[in-house]
Structure formats: structure tokens, C-alpha cells
Amino acid sequence: MITEENINVGIKEEEFILNMGPQHPSTHGVLRLVCSIKGEIVKNIEPHCGYIHRGIEKMTEKLTYPQIVHLTDRLDYLSALINNEAYCLCVEKALEIEVSDRIKYIRTIMSELTRIASHQLWWCSFGMDLGGLTCFFYGLRDREKILDIFEETCGSRLIISYNTPGGLMADIHPNFQKKVKEFIKYFRKTLPEYDQLLTGNVIMQERCKGVGYISKEDAISYGVTGPSGRGSCFSCDVRKKEPYSAYKFVNFNEVLRCEGDTFARYMVRMDEMRESMNIIEQLIDNIPEGPYAEKMKGVIKLPEGEYYQRVEAARGEFGVYIVSKGEKNPYRVKFRSPNFSNLSALNTMAKNQKIADLIAIGGSLDYVIPDIDR
Amino acid sequence: MDNAGLKEKVLQIVPGAEIIEDKQYLTVTVAPNKLHTLAEKLKEDAETLFDYLFCLTGMDWTDSLGVVYHLTSTKYNHYIVLKVKTTNRTAPVLDSVCDIWKTAEFHEREVYDFFGIDFKNHPDMRRIFLDDSWEGYPLRKDYVDEVNIIER
């Protein structure tokens, strides 16, 4: 007869190495996690990065300033426009150029649309990671509408390079404002569907609440920013702390939750989509007249010095650090990518959790591998 | 705390530190052996509380190698930039700060990977992106790769 005493006879409990990735659907790209597990419990996680490292920081040293814009798209491709903006703001800061309000407004609207599109795709894949395939269709259905708006104005859908030092590549399409307003009206109706489908789902809540906890102190120490940091009460929204572009003209709330678990990070992102819509609504009817690009010199040379620009990308704080020696190429460019810092906290979050929960935790961190590898 | 106050504070901890008020941030250059003390004091002091290291950059200034630390405080919202340099290019060693800010653990591995700076007291000093068998440190200015880097 099987009893409590003899059920484990002959089975030794010891740590076991489980390799997850580099080709695994839940790592959302080529990331390899070497997990030490004991039974079902994760004891240690060691991320192995670098499968798609392209040496972007080295490449920038040979390129001119306008050319580098196109590399910034290829970091976190889901917040391409925000990365463009960060880089352009840094160059403008160095040249002491104040762009027109029209450029600021358009940049902010584009950044917020990017944020919504990025959170939609995160929601798709998060639901799918937890086993709800329908989420994927709902999210992509709505994301398509934003990509259509991008396509009409910028000419491309994913890696856009719409910003350029001193302004924008082109003016907005005549239909832009109408299309954006239509989208907001539409998305206000469909966003509650997301809640009905996934947020209220008991299985999803059971898998997320209390899973992958990280304290505020750890979040700050590891530099976990963006929605992941704000899920742990770490008030890190650069849009509030150091307003850039048109964020000083709008009213919005920084979404904060203090539970620090996967569900908190989920809810922060859901609420951020609503806040982004509020921001866009305040700006879309008031885009001032003016040039869409400031006059720039043919060859841009930054004065000697060091320049740093922080922005709030969809996954956290994105920073551009340019060291210039007064030539047409930068001496050194460093991209502070949010995902790299967020990934470093994965071990703390997943320790002593079930191996299946690692998928939920990874999903809630929403990592994009090209941003980690650069 | 404003820049003048920070300057005074830094000079109290490390007399003779080289301080420049840059256009954007207050920049302090310290000797490698003073860095860890300064960093720890700046984090622990109740008036400065630099608890958030938001950027750690490896640098090659051709005559020296080093690291740039961008720090801010989540309570006071003031900024400081620390720089540390070493002229030893064959076996550069600097103190690790990952016991102060945990985010430094990954970032220092990145710096080791690309600049070859060894961090003392780092728990896991290995390459993070490149293969263990990779020769040289690619982000150094004197790195040569005849196949992949085209000089024009």
C-alpha cells in the first residue's frame, strides 16, 4: 500500500539543471535561462545573453549622428519611436536646439501610441504564455489599427525612424488626427473586453497573485523600472520626474501599485493604456501650427562634452549617453536599456517559485531580447 | 541637495577629488582606491541617499580605461556622476560596486566583456554577451578586427 512514508522511497531530492531556451516560446526571442530546480521549485536562474548581440554601441562610433537614429529602432523594436525620440532629444540637447511645439506634440502622441501598441502586444503574449490563446487575436486585432496609423504618416510599421535630430522626417498625414480619434473611441470600447477575457479570469489571477514578488528596495537596487518597477511601488516614471517633449503640457497620473507581484505588474500595464489614451486625447486636437523640422546644418557636429537623456520607454527607463569630441561621429554612445536591468532581477523574483510560474514572471517583465543584447 | 552642497559633501568624504560642474550633472572623478568608500557613503548618507544607479558605462579614453556611474536619489531627485579611471591597459582592476547597487552585477559583467576591466569582489566575473573563447575586448578603441570592421 502506498503511504506517506514510502511514496518517496528511492527518490533522491537533488538540484537538477534545466535548460530553457534559446529557442523557447516563452522567452520571446533568443534568450537562454539555465534554471537549477529542486523538484518543481526554482533555486537559481542564470540568464545567458548575447545570441543576437550586434555591437550597436561599437557601430555608432563609425556613423554620423543622423545615421544612428536608424540603429535605435533596432534596440527595443516595440518602442521604436520612443527610442528615436530619446536619441534625438539627446542630440538636440547637445546642440541647444529648442524644437517647435508642433514637433513636441506630434512626438508625444506618437510615443504614447507606441506605448499602447507595445502594451497590447505584451497583453497578447502574456495571455498566450498562460495558455489563453484568444488573447493573441484580440490584442493583435487592435494593434493593427495603430500600425495602420503609423504606416499612413511614417511609411512603415515596426522600425519607423520617424524622428530625426531637429524634428520629424515628414509632416503628419491629413487623416492623422481623425484616425487617432477614431482609434481612441474604438479602443475605449474594446479595452474592457481585455478585462472580461483575462483580468477577471480565476485561473489567471491564481497564477499571478503573490507570484514573483520583488520589494521596492530590491526594485530600486536592481534598477527595475517601467511598469515592472511601478508594480513594486517604485515611482520611476521619467515623464513625471523629468518631463520632456509635451509631457509638461498634459495632466496624467503615474500608475503605481504596491503589491510587487506579477498581478500588480499586469494591472499597471492595463491602467497605463488608459492613461496613454488620456494623454493623446488632451493633445490631438491642439497640435499647434509650425514647422515639422527645424533647420539643421548639413553635417551635425556636437560640441565637445557629455550628454545624457532619459525617457520613459514602454518597458522602463531608456537612457542615451553620448560622449562627443567635437567630430561628426560620437566618441562613445551608451544605450541604457530597461530590459537588461529588469532581467537582472529575474533571479530574485523567481527564486523558490514553481518552474511553471517562471513563465508568468517572465511574461510580466515583458522582455524584448534585442534590447538586452544591443 | 543642490550642486554646491553635494560638492561640499564629496570633498568631505574624499578630499582632493576632481569636481567639474558639467552642463548637465555634477561630475566627480576619484582615484580607484577611493571609489568604493565614496559610493557607499553617498548611498548611506541621509542627506544624499543615492540609491538608484541608472546607468553604468564602460569607457576607453585611449590613455586610460574606466567606468562612469550615473546616480540619482529616488527621494531627493538630485544627480551625480562618478568617474573612475585606470591607466593600466594590460590588466585593469577596479572595485566592484555590486554590493551597493545590485544592478551593477550585470552591468559590470558587460564592462568586463567589452573593455576587459576586472572588478574586484564581483561574485561572478565572466563574459555576459560574448563567447568565453573570444579574443580581445571589442569596445576598446585599439581593438582590431580585420574581417568585420571596415576602416574607411
- Chain A residues whose CB is inside 8 A of the B134 CB are none
- Chain B residues whose CB is inside 8 A of the A222 CB are 102-103
Kindly state whether residue B102 falls inside one of the protein's structural domains. no
Provide mean pLDDT across the span A34-59. Answer: 87
A116 has pLDDT over 90: yes
A209 touches chain B (CB under 8 A): no
Mean pLDDT for chain B? Answer: 86
- Chain B residues whose CB is inside 8 A of the A49 CB are 128-129
d(CA A149, CA A167): 19
Provide mean pLDDT across the span A34-47. Answer: 87
Kindly state whether residue B84 falls inside one of the protein's structural domains. yes
A162 touches chain B (CB under 8 A): no
B16 has pLDDT over 80: no
B90 has pLDDT over 80: yes
Residue with cell 576607453: B60
From A21-30, A174-183, A191-200, the region with the lowest mean pLDDT: A21-30
DSSP assigned state of A293: B
Q: How confident is the model at residue A109 (pLDDT cuts 50, 70, 90)?
A: very high
Higher-confidence residue of B8 and A11: namely B8
pLDDT at position A5 is 67
- Across the interface, of A306, A307, A344, the residue whose CB is closest to B105 is A344
Kindly state whether residue B117 falls inside one of the protein's structural domains. no
pLDDT at position A120 is 92
Cβ-defined contact of B74 to A235 (cutoff 8 Å):
yes
Kindly state whether residue B66 falls inside one of the protein's structural domains. yes
Cβ-defined contact of B24 to A319 (cutoff 8 Å):
no
A71 has pLDDT over 70: yes
pLDDT tens digits along B29-77: 888 888 888 888 888 888 888 889 988 999 998 888 999 999 998 888 8
Mean pLDDT for chain A? Answer: 88
Partner B, chain A 215-234, Cβ-Cβ below 8 Å: 218, 220-223, 234
Nearest residue of B to residue A56, measured between CA atoms? B139
pLDDT at position B152 is 67
Cβ-defined contact of A306 to B27 (cutoff 8 Å):
yes
pLDDT at position A21 is 76
pLDDT at position A114 is 92
pLDDT tens digits along A298-320: 888 888 888 999 999 988 899 99
- DSSP string covering A332-351: EEEEE-HHHHHHHTHHHHHT
Quote the number of domains for chain B: 1
Cβ-defined contact of A340 to B102 (cutoff 8 Å):
no
Provide mean pLDDT across the span A285-304. Answer: 86
Q: What percent of chain A has pLDDT over 90?
A: 22
B62 touches chain A (CB under 8 A): no
pLDDT at position B45 is 82
pLDDT tens digits along A187-242: 999 989 888 888 888 888 888 888 888 999 899 999 899 899 898 888 888 888 88
Residue with cell 561628426: A328
A334 touches chain B (CB under 8 A): yes
- Chain A residues whose CB is inside 8 A of the B24 CB are 93, 306-308
A237 touches chain B (CB under 8 A): no
- Chain B residues whose CB is inside 8 A of the A340 CB are 106-107, 110
Kindly state whether residue B146 falls inside one of the protein's structural domains. no
Question: Which superfamily, per CATH, for A64-373?
Answer: Cytochrome-c3 Hydrogenase, chain B (1.10.645.10)
Domain ranges of chain A: 64-373
Cβ-defined contact of A221 to B102 (cutoff 8 Å):
yes
Cβ-defined contact of A332 to B60 (cutoff 8 Å):
yes
A7 has pLDDT over 70: no
Cβ-defined contact of A221 to B139 (cutoff 8 Å):
no
- The closest of A77, A203, A86, A82 to A135, measured between CA atoms, is A203
| Amino acid in the structure at residue A186 | Y
pLDDT at position A11 is 62
Cβ-defined contact of B70 to A321 (cutoff 8 Å):
yes
Q: For position B33, which CATH number holds? A: 3.30.460.80
Question: Is residue B95 within 8 Å of B82, Cβ to Cβ?
Answer: no
pLDDT at position A2 is 64
Measured in angstroms, the CA of A118 and the nearest CA of chain B are apart by 23
B138 touches chain A (CB under 8 A): yes
- Chain B residues whose CB is inside 8 A of the A308 CB are 24-25, 55, 70
- Which residues are CB-neighbours of A225 under 8 A, at least 6 positions away? A234, A236, A316, A317, A338, A341, A342
Provide mean pLDDT across the span B103-132. Answer: 89
Q: How confident is the model at residue A112 (pLDDT cuts 50, 70, 90)?
A: very high
**Test the B interface: residue of A49, A62, A95, A320 with most B CBs within 10 Å:** A49
Partner A, chain B 88-107, Cβ-Cβ below 8 Å: 101-103, 105-107
pLDDT at position A321 is 92
Q: How confident is the model at residue A8 (pLDDT cuts 50, 70, 90)?
A: low
Measured in angstroms, the CA of B70 and the nearest CA of chain A are apart by 9
From A13-17, A165-169, A328-332, the region with the lowest mean pLDDT: A13-17
Q: Domain range spanning residue B41?
A: 3-91
Kindly state whether residue B24 falls inside one of the protein's structural domains. yes
Q: What percent of chain B has pLDDT over 90?
A: 7
Say what the ipTM of the complex is: 0.90
**Test the A interface: residue of B65, B106, B115 with most A CBs within 10 Å:** B106
HEC readout, A157-170 = CCCCCCEECCEECC
- Across the interface, of A50, A336, A345, the residue whose CB is closest to B54 is A336
pLDDT at position A311 is 92
| Amino acid in the structure at residue A127 | G
d(CA B31, CA B109): 21
- DSSP string covering A45-84: EEEE--TT---HHHHHTTS-HHHHHHHHTTTSGGGHHHHH
pLDDT at position A182 is 92
pLDDT at position A184 is 92
CB atoms within 10 A of CB A266: 26
